[in-house]
Amino acid sequence: MLEELHVFGVYLPAALVWAVLAGVLAHLLRRLWQRLPWSSALGHAGIWELAWFVLLWWGLTAAADSFFHYG
Amino acid sequence: MDKALKSWIMKIVRLLCTLLAIALLLFAVRALWIRYQVEPVTRDGKVLADIVPIAPDVAGLVTEVHVHDNQTVRQGQVLLVIDPSRYTLALQQAQATLGSERAALAEAIREDQRNRMMSNVVASEVIEQGQTKVAQLRMAVQQATAARDLAQLNLDRTQVRAPVSGEVANVTLQPGTYLTVGKPALALVDMPSLRVEGYFEETKLQRIHPGDRASVHLMGVPGDIRGHVESIASAIEDRERSGDASKPADVNPAFTWVRLAQRIPVRIAIDDVPKGIRLVPGQTATVVVHSPGQPRGLLPW
């Protein structure tokens, strides 16, 4: 499990880094989502955006736990 | 009719998609909660070892320092020497006193024997006085013997030896320093007691058991140190309560609405350290306990 990340000499909690990354990715995904012609048919955009953010956060966490090693 | 049906179908699709989004959201939130709040992981861990403060048993000037900083020492090895001159003199004085008392005792015994052999011409009172003198001098000899042994012990203690094997640390001692009895002069790290202690939130303790496998990662050091849970602290201090056992409880009346889980030390025994990794007591560590087969309910809390 990756619990912290070394960023320019500062050890940050991995959860915070993945959350920020997930937020940026979810924002980019939102733009793509809005361009889809049938996006309005898929329900409330706000709920989907929130779902994407949390799913990406969890996905990044799980991927980091599986593939990254300390050091 | 077709338009109405189409609109109705669209509403159903929108509703189903929204429900799907909510379900995915809840699933991910639960997964994140378990990962970050329930799994027994802590970044608040430390490498620890028992530290023996080396202090002399006798006071005096340091004449020799036999170790340098961070040196590995064996149990019984001489670390430093306190000036033995005063203690040598004390021993000689005690030996002389003992010799004197022994001579006096021998003389008293001879006198007592003579008196007993001439009991017809020596008064009983004199014989009794002689016997008392012998008894007193025997005690004086014992006292002098104890004083001699104490002087010898003090002299022996001028050589300060390592009580355990390990590494000396914080050695800044130089010859000429005056040390008083019990004043720590340097620290000896008991290396066999090297371990990791993870300070786990009390909410995570239910998933930690003695014997569970554990992984330890040192800050900034690649590699996975393997170990197992040796024990969990049997008690921590109650910060809300003061006063000793003989007095009524003094409980803090302030109770905060927002509070943090307390942290409980969990002792991790080290089983395997990868090559090239040096454990230094005080290092920061992340500790992950691999709790075997924990049943998970629908809700993690």
CB B164 within 8 A of CB B188: yes
The yes-or-no verdict on residue B256 having pLDDT over 90 is no
pLDDT of residue A71: 43
pLDDT tens-digit readout, B105-128: 999 999 999 999 988 888 899 999
A70 touches B: beta carbon within 8 Å: yes
User: What local confidence, expressed as pLDDT, does residue B298 receive?
Assistant: 43
pLDDT (tens digit per residue) in B189-238:
998 899 999 999 998 998 899 999 999 999 888 888 999 999 999 999 88
Kindly tell me if the per-residue pLDDT of A68 is higher than 80.
Answer: no
Any chain B CB within 8 A of the CB of A42? yes
How far apart (Å, rounded) are the C-alpha atoms in residues A52 and B37? 21
Is the pLDDT assigned to residue B294 strictly greater than 70? Answer: no
Q: Tell me the residue type at B239.
A: R
C-beta pairs of B91-99 under 8 Å, 24+ apart in sequence:
B91/B148, B91/B151, B91/B152, B91/B154, B91/B155, B93/B151, B94/B144, B94/B147, B94/B148, B94/B150, B94/B151, B94/B152, B95/B148, B95/B151, B97/B144, B97/B147, B97/B148, B98/B141, B98/B144, B98/B145, B98/B147, B98/B148
Residue B129: CB atoms within 10 A of its CB come to 14
On whether ipTM exceeds 0.90, the answer is: no
Handedness of CA B266, B270, B274, B275 (dihedral sign): positive
Q: Do A71 and B18 touch (CB under 8 A)?
A: no
pTM, 2 dp: 0.76
Mean pLDDT over B176-197 rounds to 93
Domains and CATH numbers, chain B: 35-49+192-290 (2.40.30.170), 52-186 (2.40.50.100)
Q: B259: pLDDT confidence band, cut at 50, 70 and 90?
A: confident
Query: What pLDDT score was predicted for residue A69?
Result: 63
Say whether B220 and A71 touch across the interface (CB within 8 A). Answer: yes
**pLDDT on residue A23:** 95
Residues of B in contact with A41 (CB under 8 A): 10, 13-14, 17
Calpha distance B289→B212 (Å, rounded): 7
Q: Which residue of B has its CA nearest to A14?
A: B36
Q: 3-class DSSP state for residue A43?
A: coil
Q: For the segment B5-28, what is each residue's pLDDT rounded down to a tens digit?
A: 888 888 888 889 889 999 999 999
Does residue B240 come out as left (phi exceeding 0), alpha (psi in the -120 to 50 range) or beta? alpha
pLDDT of A9-48, one tens digit each?
Answer: 888 888 999 999 999 999 999 888 888 877 777 778 888 8
A16 has a chain B CB within 8 A of its CB: no
Structure token pair of residue B194: 């090297």
- B217 touching chain A per CB within 8 A: yes
Residue B246 has pLDDT above 90, yes or no: no
* Res B138 pLDDT > 90: yes
Does any CB of chain A come closer than 8 Å to the CB of residue B21? Answer: yes
- Tens of pLDDT, residue by residue over B53-110, are 999 999 999 999 999 999 999 999 999 999 999 999 999 999 999 999 999 999 999 9
